Chains A and B, each alone.
Chain A
Amino acid sequence: MQDRRTFLQRAGLAAASAAAACRRGPSFQALLDRFGTSPALDEAGAAGSVPPIPRSLSRLAYGPRTGDVERVAAVGESAWIEEQLSPAAISDLAARWRVRSIETLQLDLPDLFDYARPTVLDDLRRATILRAVYSQRQLFERMVEFWTDHFNIFVGKADCAWLKVVDDREVIRRHALGNFRDLLRASATSPAMLVYLDGEANAAGRPNENYAREVMELHTLGVDGGYTQRDVMELARALTGWRVRSAFWRGRVFFEKIRHDPGIKQVLDLRLDSGPQRDLEEILDRLCSHPATARHLAARLVRRFVSENPPESLVARVAAAFSASRGGIRQTLSALAHSEEFRQSPPKLRRPFDFAIATLRAVGASTDGGRAMQDELERMGQLPFGWPTPDGFPDTAAPWKARLLSRWNFALDLSGGRIAGTRMDSELGRDPARLASALLRRPLEAAERRALALAGSGPEAAAVALCHPQLQVC
C-alpha cells in the first residue's frame, strides 16, 4: 500500500482541503447551506457530458454533494478512497461545527443521566444525521453506521438510551476504522452492551447466555462458525463478573471478582483457567484470530458495500486482508474498496437512511437533524438506534423494497417544505426534468421526460425527480 504522505503530495489534496476548510468556516454558514446548489446542477443538466457518479461516492459515502463527483474525478477514485481511509487527516469543520453545540454528546456517565431520555436520544440522532450529511469523512461515517448495525444496541431497553451515547463515542466512533480486536474489546465491556445483552446479569452459578451467544453468532464467528451450544454455555461462564453500576456512578462498568466463575471453562479449543479478567482477553483473542470471524466479517462488509450475494472470490480476499492485518479495519476495507468486484457491482437498493441522507446531500438541502427529520426516518422504517434485535437493520433489498411509498412521502415533505429544520431550495421544482437530469448526471430519455411532464412543476414535481427509481439504488 502506498505511503499516505506520498499520496497526498501526489494528489495535491492537502492544499485543496485546507482551502476548503477556510471556505467553510463557521461564519459562512449561510454560504455553506447554499453551497453550490444551483450552479453545478445547471451544468449537469445542460448537457450529457458529465462524469457519472463513481461507485465509491455512492457506496462509501452517502452520495455526492455538489462538486464531489468532479473532485473525485480530478484526484482519481483510488486516491479518494485512500484519503477517506485516513479520516483524521481530513479537515471536517462543517460537521464538527454543527455537532459541537450538542451538549450531551460530550458528557460521560453518570452525568448523562441528568438529562431526560428524549433529550439524550434526540441529541444522539441529530448528531448522527448531521455527520452523515455534512462530514467530509464520509467513509468513516459509513463505517460508523456499519458497526452500529454489527454491534446493534436498541435504545428502548432499560438504560440503553443513555449508555448508547457513550457506546457510540467510545466504542463505535473510536474504533470504526481502527482494529477489530480493540473494537470488540470495547464493545464487550461497554455498559450499553452489558445491559442490552444481559452480560451484567451473568454471574457465577447463574450464567446468562444472551451475550455469549450473540458475540459468537453475530459479532465474530457467524452462525455457521463452528461453535456449539456447549461453547455458548461455557463462554457465558467465562464472561461472568462484569457489571454495570445502577446507583452511585450509575452506568460505570466494573469487574466483580466474586461474581466471576473461577472454574475451568472450555470454549472452542481454548481452556480458560488463568483467572478473572484474563478469561475475557483470551477468549477475545481466540475469537478475533479465528478464520470463521475473518470470513463472517468479510461477508458482512461485502454484503453491505458490494452485493447482497457476496462474490466468493472477494469475500476470500477481504477475509485474507483481515487475517493478515490481525483485524485491521482499514486494511480490510482497503481490499474491498480497491477491488474490481466493488467497481463492477450491480446496483444495490439504498436503505432509507442512506436514501434520505443522499437526497439531502444531492440537492444541497440544509438540515438540523432534528425531531422532524427523525420522524421522517422513522416513517421510512430506519430511525437510528431503533432496531430492536441484535442483528441490526437488514442489509438486503427484500425487507425494504416494499416500503417505497414512505420514501416518496419523505421527498414530498422535503420539497413541500414540511420538514421543520430541513430545507431545500424551492426553486428546484421549477423544472423537474432538469433537476432529475442533474441528479442522475445524464440526459433523460424521452419516456422519462414524458413521465416528469405529467407531474407539472412546483414542489411536488420536484419530489418526483427525487423519487426517480434510479435514485433508490446506489
Chain B
Amino acid sequence: MTRPILVVVSLRGGVDALNAVVPYRDVDYYRLRPTLAIPPPGKARRAAIDLNGFYGLHPSLAPIVPLWERRELAVVHAVGWPGVSHSHFEAWEEIEAGAVGANRPPSGWLARALALSPEENASALRAVAFADTMPILLSGSPGATAVRSLDELRLAADGPRRRSLAASLRLLYGQAAPPVGAAGIAALDAAAAIEGRAGAASSSSRAGSAFARQLGMIARLIQAGVGLETAAVELGGWDFHFGAGSTEGPMARLLAEFAEGVAAFANDLGPDWNRVVLVAISEFGRRAQENGSGGTDHGQGGLIVVAGGGVRGGRVAGEWPGLSARRLAGPGDLAITTDFRDVLLEVLPHGLSSAERERVFPRYQKKRELGLLPA
C-alpha cells in the first residue's frame, strides 16, 4: 500500500463512547445508564447492532455496518492518555498537538507528519481543513488551507480580471512579512490549484448535512488528483450534558449524521477508498454513570474509529477495562487502556525512523500494537 491519504474527523464536544459502541454484555453498563442505555441486540425495535457478541453499534450507526462487514472499519475503545483533562479545550490542544502535559509544540501532529513526506509535493492543496478556523491539527503546516467549502477558494471576479487581481495580490503579499505574507501566497496557490478543475471546485450536489457535503468535497479533491495528502473535517455538538436521548434523540441524530457522511464518502470514492484512511477522534469519553439531566458529564476513556479500504477492520481493538466500580477511573469514568498515540502512529506511513516518530509524537514510546493497517 502506498502512502495513504489521511482524513481526520474531529468529533468535538466529547462523544459518549459507551452509547456509540455499546458494551452490551457488560452488566454494569445497564446499571450506570438507567435511562440512556441502548438495549442489547434483539431486545427492542431499536437496539444495539451486534458487532462481535460483546459490543454493539448504536442503531443510528447502521449506515456504517456495511463497512464493518467488509472489514474496512475498526473501532478502538477506551482510548485516551494518562491524566487526560476533563477540559474540552485542554484535551483538544493535547490531542491535536500530539503531545500531553507542559511544553507542547505549537504545531499539530498532522502538520508535522506532513513535513516528513519523503517525496516533494508542491501542491497547494496538500492539506485542507474544512472548518471556520484552522485547527491546531494542521497549524504549522505552511501549505494548509482552511475553508468551509471549496467555492471559497475562488476569487470573486471574472476571467481575465481574476488573473490580474491574483497577480497583483501575489506581488503585494510576496513582499509582506510573515505570517500574513506567507498565508496570502498559500491562499493564492490554493486558488490557482483548484482553478479550472470544475469538478473539484463545484459545490456538492448531494443533499445531506454540512459534514457529508464536506466529506464529498474531500472525495472530489482526491479524485481530481490535486495532490491532496491529508484533510481535516469536523463534526461538533457532542457535549450532551442534558437530554442526550437513547436510541432516539439529539445524540442519535448526530450519530446518524456521522454514519451517513462516512458511508457516502466511502461510496463516492469508489476504488479510491482503498487509498484513504479515515480517523474519527474525540477529546474524551463521558462519565460512565449518566447524570440527573438525561446526559453525561465529561469523562476519560473514549473511542477512535479507523476506516478505509485498506484498514484491517471488522474488529474492536484495545482492551475492555470494565465498568465495575473498582475499574472506573477518577470520578467514575471509563478507564483508558490504549493511548491515542498508539492508534495514530499506526496510520502514519510505515518505515518511519524513530527520530521521525519522535518528531510527530514527542516524548512518546509506542506501547501497544493494534495492527490497524497491514504491515
Contact of A381 with B298 in the complex, beta carbons under 8 Å = no
Check if B145 sits within 8 Å of A409, measured CB to CB: no
Residues of B within 8 A of A19 (CB): none
**CA of A472 to CA of B184, assembled, Å:** 10
Known interface pairs A201-B242, A456-B164. Does A208 touch B291 (Cβ–Cβ under 8 Å)? yes
The answer to whether A208 and B242 have CB atoms under 8 Å apart is yes
**Binary interface encoding of chain A residues 195-227 relative to chain B, with 1 for a CB under 8 A from any of its CBs, else 0:** 001100111011111100100011000010000
Q: In this assembly, does B90 line the interface, its C-beta being within 8 Å of a C-beta of chain A?
A: yes
The one of B85, B136, B152, B181 in contact with A398, judged by C-beta atoms closer than 8 angstroms, is B136
Stretch at the interface among B43-51, B56-64, B170-178: B170-178
Q: Are A402 and B89 in contact (CB under 8 A)?
A: no
| Cα distance, A332 to B297, chains bound together (Å) | 35
In the complex, per-residue mask of A389-417: 1 if CB is within 8 Å of any chain B CB, else 0? 11101100111111111101100110010
Whether B132 and A349, one on each chain, are in contact in the complex, defined by CB atoms closer than 8 angstroms, is no
| Pairwise interchain contact A399-B134, C-beta atoms closer than 8 A | yes
User: CA separation between A427 and B89, bound complex, in Å?
Assistant: 47
CB neighbours (8 Å) of A398 from chain B are 106, 134, 136, 139-140
Among B146-168, those with CB < 8 Å from A are 146-148, 152-153, 155-157, 161, 164-165, 167-168
B12 contacts A389, C-beta separation under 8 Å: yes
Task: Tell me how far the C-beta of A431 lies from the nearest C-beta in chain B, rounded to whole angstroms.
Answer: 14
- How many A-B pairs have beta carbons closer than 8 Å: the answer is 174
From DSSP, what is the main secondary structure of chain B's interface residues? loop
Q: How far is the CA of A403 from the CA of B140 in the complex (A)?
A: 14
Is A468 positioned at the interface, with any CB of B under 8 Å from its CB? Answer: yes
Whether A379 lies near B152 (C-beta < 8 A) is yes
Which residue of the partner chain A has the closest CB to B134?
A402
The count of residues in chain B whose C-beta lies closer than 8 Å to any C-beta of chain A is 62
Residues of B within 8 A of A456 (CB): 164
Least Cβ–Cβ distance between A132 and chain B, in angstroms: 19
Contacts of A394 in B (CB 8 A): 133
Kindly specify which of B185-193, B257-265, B266-274, B358-366 makes contact with the partner chain: B185-193
Q: Is A335 an interface residue (CB 8 A)?
A: no
Q: How far is the CA of A390 from the CA of B135 in the complex (A)?
A: 16
User: Given A402-B146, A404-B184, A448-B175, do A201 and B129 touch, yes or no (CB 8 Å)?
Assistant: no
The residue on B at minimum CB distance from A410 is B156
A232 in the interface (beta carbon within 8 A): yes
**Residues A408 and B175 in contact in the complex (CB < 8 Å), given A403-B134, A469-B180, A472-B180:** no
In the bound complex, residues from chain A placing their C-beta under 8 Å from that of B175 are 445, 447-448, 451
Interface residues on A, range: 35 or more
Residues on the A chain within 8 Å of B168, using CB: 451-455, 461, 464
Question: A451: which B residues are within 8 A, CB to CB?
Answer: 168-169, 171-172, 175
> Nearest residue in A to B140 (C-beta to C-beta)?
A398
A233 at the A/B interface (Cβ < 8 Å)? yes
Give the nearest-CB partner of B290 in chain A. Answer: A206
Of all chain A residues, which has the CB nearest B170? A451
- Closest Cβ–Cβ distance, residue B330 to chain A (whole Å): 6
A275 in the interface (beta carbon within 8 A)? no
Q: How far is the CB of A79 from chain B (nearest CB, A)?
A: 32
Question: If A208-B291, A467-B169 touch, does A402 touch B241 (CB 8 Å cutoff)?
Answer: no
Residue of B86, B88, B180, B242 touching A232 (CB-CB under 8 A)? B86
In the complex, chain A residues whose CB is within 8 Å of the CB of B90: 223
Q: In the assembly, what is the distance between CA of A198 and CA of B89, in Å?
A: 18
| B144 interface residue (CB < 8 Å to A) | yes
Distance (Å) between the CB of B144 and the closest chain A CB? 6
Residues of the A chain whose Cβ atoms lie less than 8 Å from the Cβ of B243: 201
Q: Judge if A450 is at the interface, Cβ distance under 8 Å.
A: yes
Q: How far is the CA of A400 from the CA of B134 in the complex (A)?
A: 6
Which of A197, A381, A404, A413 has the most B CB atoms < 10 Å from its CB? A404
Give, as a whole number of angstroms, the nearest-CB distance from A379 to chain B: 7
A207 engages B291 (CB within 8 Å):
yes
Interface flag for B293 (CB, 8 Å): yes
Tell me, yes or no, whether B199 is within 8 Å of chain A by CB: no
A402 and B144 within 8 A (CB): yes
* Contact call A463/B165, Cβ cutoff below 8 A: yes
Interface string of A173-211 (1 = CB under 8 A from B): 000000000000000000000000110011101111110
Query: Contacts of B295 on A, CB cut-off 8 Å?
Result: 198, 201, 208
Q: Nearest-CB distance from B158 to chain A (Å)?
A: 9
Inter-chain contact A210/B155, CB cutoff 8 Å = no
A-B contact pairs, 23 of them (CB 8 A): A197-B241, A198-B293, A201-B241, A206-B293, A208-B293, A230-B331, A349-B180, A388-B12, A389-B12, A398-B106, A402-B144, A402-B183, A402-B186, A408-B187, A413-B156, A450-B171, A451-B169, A456-B164, A460-B161, A469-B172, A469-B176, A472-B180, A473-B180
Beyond contacts A232-B86, A349-B179, A381-B133: 8 other A-B pairs, Cβ-Cβ < 8 A, are: A208-B295, A223-B85, A233-B331, A398-B134, A400-B134, A464-B169, A468-B172, A469-B176
